[in-house]
Amino acid sequence: MATNIFINLPVKDLNASVAFFTQLGFEFNPQFTDEKATCMIISDTINVMLLVESFFSSFTTKPLVNAHQANEFILCLSADSRAEVDRLADAALAAGGQSVPQEPQNEMEFMYDRNFQDLDGHLWNIMYMDPTFAQQPATPEVAAQ
């Protein structure tokens, strides 16, 4: 059996978050949805639980991070093409997400990515990697990166 991952994210306004991610093309599992939480389906084995902040807080004694002011993680999703990276990032910006300034990275023809912040400031990275690159033996230059 494949291992499933459930990423839990606190959100201020569950309905606004559902509307935002729906505009990006994601669907939600109604079995795990109520007024406190919903389960966003990323793939057959990856889900993001969007939890209203007060409900999220019931699972931990640690204070919540304000993701608009501090970075708790960057959630990276793979895409099947550069066009899909652009579609998702552009949809996020059109739905009210914010662009994330990026430092110039090593120019790698085999990889393409874009970042955005969701409505609660969580950082998302959408990345495409040319599958033929993974089939090539590592060169000293690539191995050093």
Q: What is the pLDDT of residues 11-34, one digit of tens each?
A: 999 999 999 999 999 999 999 999
Pair of tokens at residue 124 = 């998302």
Q: Is residue 45 part of a domain?
A: yes
Domain span holding position 29: 1-59
Q: If pLDDT is split at 50, 70 and 90, which confidence band does 110 have?
A: confident
- The torsion angles phi and psi of 31, rounded to 5 degrees, stand at -65, -25
Is residue 118 over pLDDT 90? yes
Mean pLDDT, to the nearest integer, of 62-81?
92
Is residue 135 over pLDDT 70? no
CATH number reported for the structural domain that contains residue 90 in this entry: 3.10.180.10
Tell me what pLDDT residue 103 has. 63
Domain count within the chain: 2
Residue ending a domain, among 32, 59, 86, is 59
Mean pLDDT, to the nearest integer, of 112-125?
94
Q: Is residue 117 part of a domain?
A: yes
Same domain for 82 and 107, yes or no, is yes
Same domain for 84 and 129, yes or no, is yes
For residues 41 and 105, the model is more confident at 41
Same domain for 40 and 76, yes or no, is no
Q: Is residue 139 part of a domain?
A: no
Same domain for 46 and 94, yes or no, is no
Tell me what pLDDT residue 100 has. 86
Same domain for 119 and 75, yes or no, is yes
Q: Is residue 53 part of a domain?
A: yes
Distance separating alpha carbons of residues 42 and 28, to the nearest angstrom: 9
Reduce the DSSP state of residue 38 to 3 states and report it.
strand
Q: Is residue 16 part of a domain?
A: yes
pTM of the model: 0.82
